[in-house]
Each structure stands twice: as C-alpha cells, then as structure tokens.
C-alpha cells in the first residue's frame, strides 16, 4: 500500500460507538490505493461489483473509496468507479443516511461532512444526497433503522421515499433482498416500526400488500374492535420481540391473520374460514419472498391452527390428537412449542392484554408429553394387521390424554 494511502473506519461501527452501543463489526475505507497494492499487502479480494478486501489477520472488510453512477433500475443498476483519486468525502457522499456517513481516522478524529452527529443526537434518519432515490433497498434500510433505533424519518427523506414508491423504483427490488431486510426488520426491538415506516411512504402496499391490506379491516366483535387487524398484527409482532422469540415465530405472527383482509374475489370464497384463506396467502407470500422453509412452515401452521389453539380448553381429546398429528408434533415438538409462542403473542396483541398469561401453551404441552409417552413401537408389534397400526396408536394416544382433558374441563 502506498505511503499516501489512508484508512478510515466508517459506517455502522462509528455510528454505534457514538450511540454507546456495542460495535459488532468494523468497516474500513481505503483512500489513495489500488487493488494491486491491496493484494500485495496480503489483503484477499472478495468484491464482485467493486473492490472489497479482507484484512489478512482480522478478516474485516476494507473497501477502496468509490463513487457510483446510476445506470438502470434497481439496487444493482450502478456503475462503480474506484481509483486512488476518489476522496473520502466523495465516498461518504454515496452513503444512504447522514448517520452512516461519518468516518474516523487513525487518530480518532471524526470526519462528518453531512452533520450525521447532529442527526444522531436528534434521532433523525436523513438521506445524504438525492442519490438515495436511486436505490430502492434504502427504503427497506430506513424502515429497519427506524425499528432498531426508534428514529424518525426527516420530512424531506420521507418525501423522497414516497416518490420512489410512486415512480416504480421499489418494483425493481428482488425477492432475496426484500426477505433479507424483512427478516432483519422482524428481529429488531420494535418490528412494528419497520412496517409502519414502509406504510408511511406507500412502499408496504407494493412490497408486502398482504400485510398492508390488513389496515382498516375491523377486528371481529368478540375481540377488540377498537383496533383494526393491521394494528393488531403490529401489537402481535412487537410482543414476539419483547419475548425474544426466534425469526420463525415472528414471521408466523406477522402472517397469521392475512386471510381477514380478503374479499370474495380473492383466493378462496369468504364463506370459507379466514384461517384457510390465510394459509393460501402465506403460501403465496412465502414463495414470492423466497422465505426460508422453517419460516414458511411455521407460518402455515399458525395461520391454520391458531384459532384451535386459542380454544384448547374446549377441544375433545381426539381433536387434540388430530391437532398434534396435523402439526407433526410427534417428530417436531420444538416447532410445536414455537407455534404456541406465536399463538401466545397473538393473544397478547390486544390493548390491555400485553401481560396476559397464555395457559393454553402449558396445557397443550402437558397433553403432548402424555401422548408422546405412548409406545408406538410396542403397539405396532402387537398389531397383527399392519393396516390397523396407525388407528391403534391414535386411539392409545387419545386414551393417554383423555383423563387430563376431562380434569381440565371440570376445573
């Protein structure tokens, strides 16, 4: 690396340190160097679209300072220029938000050409330049940072985000990137802010219309009609965050009620229960977003069975066994426990019920434990007719929980 080259820490590491948060990873910008010089110093090239290198010892990312020029729609439609004459200020100018456009040199001096420190103190997400509007992923990042930090969106940035939603720029988002940002947004401390931010600029209707359609749909009278289905869903996903539940549970919570927003023109007629309509919508959404199989499968179970699980105390023993069978609880008891977590958050996702217990979970787990204690192999050995094994095992499981069910009902 030439003597003129200078290295700066940039982005999230500087931002998080200024916020007093733990710094997970460091990103570095190298000004005044070339790819050949980096390789000669032992850095390993990893960037496909622009020069990024891994440090030979720390394996942290070092990127050559660069500029970008928009060439086509979408977040991949850029021409990148990286050369020794690109300045730090030019590199910072291409970044998304002022809070991410702060650099720190080797002596600890902060370089803040876009007043990102002031925006950090004020809790504001503000775009660095009009180039923000050229990359639709930045809308998703704005939503994620709002969910993570609780920051507001600067009025001029919100205007730009609305223009991006209206001019079709968000339509160029690829499914894999949407899923990546959605998954990260769900894992923030206040995931509802992720969706509220997308909705505030009109992007939610373009990216995840199934969720956007829930807003304004009244809750059934037996629940809490003072909040609509969209607000209920936001309360539910925020509860999953408070409980520290896994991504699979949070995605299931997000999608469990999608069918409530459908009309007779949609997937299934309205006279068919909203649970079945939700199942079809979850299938389509998960396929479109390229959601992970674990997230998709748990979401399908939550969409189909959350109503039955809420009514667990009313179910007969044979109905409970059929529920376990349908949910594959025999082989996947851990996933069934996650299903109960999603249902518990659904029950708490109502005004004034945030701290409610969910006794259905302990009850069903007790029944599952009793049913799984049945020795299916022994029953199979005792059956002379192999066609009758499944029915015999099911009957034995029903008998194993019948007493517990009856006792529970008589309390």
Cα within 13 Å of Cα(84), Cβ side: 12
- 155-183: per-residue pLDDT in tens? 999 999 999 999 988 998 999 999 999 99
Other C-beta atoms closer than 10 Å to the C-beta of 357 total: 10
Cβ-based burial of 132 (10 A; exposed 0-12, middle 13-18, buried ≥19): buried
Cβ-based burial of 382 (10 A; exposed 0-12, middle 13-18, buried ≥19): exposed
Instruction: Evaluate whether 113 touches 101 at the Cβ level (below 8 Å).
Output: yes
Residue 241 makes CB contacts below 8 A (sequence gap 6+) with 187, 188, 189, 190, 191, 250
**Displacement of CA 383 from its chain's centroid (Å):** 48
Instruction: Evaluate whether 192 touches 211 at the Cβ level (below 8 Å).
Output: no
- 3-38: per-residue pLDDT in tens? 678 999 999 999 999 999 999 888 899 998 988 888
Residue 205 makes CB contacts below 8 A (sequence gap 6+) with 165, 199, 212
In a domain, 314, yes or no: no
- The count of domains in the chain is 2
Instruction: Evaluate whether 170 touches 163 at the Cβ level (below 8 Å).
Output: no
Question: At residue 168, what are phi and psi to the nearest 5 degrees?
Answer: 90, 5
Q: CATH code at 113? A: 3.30.460.10
Q: In the predicted model, what is the mean pLDDT of residues 29-54?
A: 86
In a domain, 325, yes or no: no
- Say if residue 147 is in the same domain as residue 101: no
Instruction: Give the span between the Cα atoms of 284 and 278, in whole angstroms.
Output: 10
**Which residues on neighbouring strands pair with residue 125, listed in sequence order?**
153
- Say if residue 10 is in the same domain as residue 95: yes
- Say if residue 23 is in the same domain as residue 55: yes
The whole-number pLDDT of residue 1 equals: 57
Of 96, 122, 148, which residue sits at a domain end? Answer: 122
**Displacement of CA 140 from its chain's centroid (Å):** 11
**DSSP for residue 86:** -
- Say if residue 103 is in the same domain as residue 193: no
The whole-number pLDDT of residue 271 equals: 43
In the chain, % of residues over pLDDT 90: 68
In a domain, 216, yes or no: no
The whole-number pLDDT of residue 110 equals: 97
The whole-number pLDDT of residue 351 equals: 78
**pLDDT tier at 353, thresholds 50, 70, 90:** confident
Handedness of CA 182, 188, 191, 193 (dihedral sign): negative
Lowest-pLDDT range, 135-139, 216-220, 301-305, 405-409?
Answer: 216-220
- Say if residue 96 is in the same domain as residue 195: no
- Say if residue 43 is in the same domain as residue 19: yes
Closest by CA to 303, choosing from 291, 315, 295, is 295
Instruction: Give the span between the Cα atoms of 8 and 162, in whole angstroms.
Output: 33
- Say if residue 138 is in the same domain as residue 114: no
**pLDDT tier at 199, thresholds 50, 70, 90:** very high
- Say if residue 116 is in the same domain as residue 182: no
Instruction: Give the span between the Cα atoms of 195 and 1, in whole angstroms.
Output: 45
Of 122, 142, 163, which residue sits at a domain end? Answer: 122
Instruction: Give the span between the Cα atoms of 68 and 94, in whole angstroms.
Output: 7
Q: CATH code at 200? A: 1.10.110.30
Q: Which domain holds residue 136?
A: 126-207
- Say if residue 115 is in the same domain as residue 131: no
**pLDDT tier at 270, thresholds 50, 70, 90:** very low
Lowest-pLDDT range, 61-75, 299-313, 358-372?
Answer: 61-75
- 366-386: per-residue pLDDT in tens? 999 999 999 888 888 888 777
Cα within 13 Å of Cα(261), Cβ side: 23
Q: What is the pTM of this model?
A: 0.89
Residue 226 makes CB contacts below 8 A (sequence gap 6+) with 351
- Say if residue 33 is in the same domain as residue 116: yes
- Say if residue 27 is in the same domain as residue 66: yes
Of 122, 144, 162, which residue sits at a domain end? Answer: 122
**DSSP for residue 31:** E
């Amino acid at each position: 690396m030439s003597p003129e080259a200078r290295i700066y820490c940039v982005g999230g590491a500087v931002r998080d340190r200024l916020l007093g948060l733990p710094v997970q990873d460091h990103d570095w910008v190298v000004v005044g160097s070339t790819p050949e010089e980096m390789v000669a110093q032992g850095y390993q090239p990893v960037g496909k679209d622009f020069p990024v290198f891994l440090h030979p010892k720390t394996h942290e990312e070092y990127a050559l300072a660069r500029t970008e020029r928009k060439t086509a729609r979408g977040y991949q439609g850029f021409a990148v220029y990286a050369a020794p004459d690109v300045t730090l200020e030019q590199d910072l100018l291409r970044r998304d938000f002022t809070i991410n456009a702060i650099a720190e040199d080797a002596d600890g001096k902060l370089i803040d050409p876009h007043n990102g420190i002031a925006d950090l103190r004020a809790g504001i997400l503000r775009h660095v330049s009009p180039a923000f509007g050229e990359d639709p992923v930045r809308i998703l990042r704005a939503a994620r940072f709002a969910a993570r930090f609780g920051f507001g969106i600067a009025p001029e940035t919100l205007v730009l985000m609305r223009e991006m939603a209206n001019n079709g720029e968000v339509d160029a988002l690829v499914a894999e990137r949407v899923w990546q940002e959605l998954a990260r947004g769900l894992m923030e401390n206040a995931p509802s802010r992720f969706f509220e931010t997308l909705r505030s600029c009109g992007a939610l209707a373009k990216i995840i219309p199934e969720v956007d359609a829930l807003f304004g749909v009244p809750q059934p009278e037996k629940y809490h009609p003072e909040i609509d289905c969209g607000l209920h869903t936001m309360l539910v996903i925020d509860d999953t965050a408070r409980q520290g539940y896994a991504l699979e549970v949070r995605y299931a919570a997000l999608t469990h009620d999608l069918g409530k927003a459908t009309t007779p023109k949609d997937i299934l007629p309205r006279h068919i229960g909203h649970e079945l309509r939700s199942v079809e919508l979850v299938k389509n959404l998960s396929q479109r977003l390229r959601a992970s199989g674990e997230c998709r499968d748990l979401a399908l179970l939550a969409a189909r069975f959350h109503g039955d699980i809420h009514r667990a105390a009313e179910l007969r023993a044979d109905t409970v066994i059929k529920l376990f069978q349908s949910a594959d609880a025999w082989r996947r008891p851990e996933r069934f426990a996650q299903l109960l977590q999603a249902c518990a958050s659904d029950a708490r996702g109502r005004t004034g019920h945030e701290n409610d217990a969910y006794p259905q979970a302990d009850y069903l787990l007790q029944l599952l434990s009793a049913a799984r204690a049945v020795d299916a192999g022994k029953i199979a050995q005792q059956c002379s007719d192999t066609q009758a094994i499944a029915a015999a095992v099911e009957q034995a499981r029903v008998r194993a929980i019948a007493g517990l069910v009856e006792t529970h009902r008589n309390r």
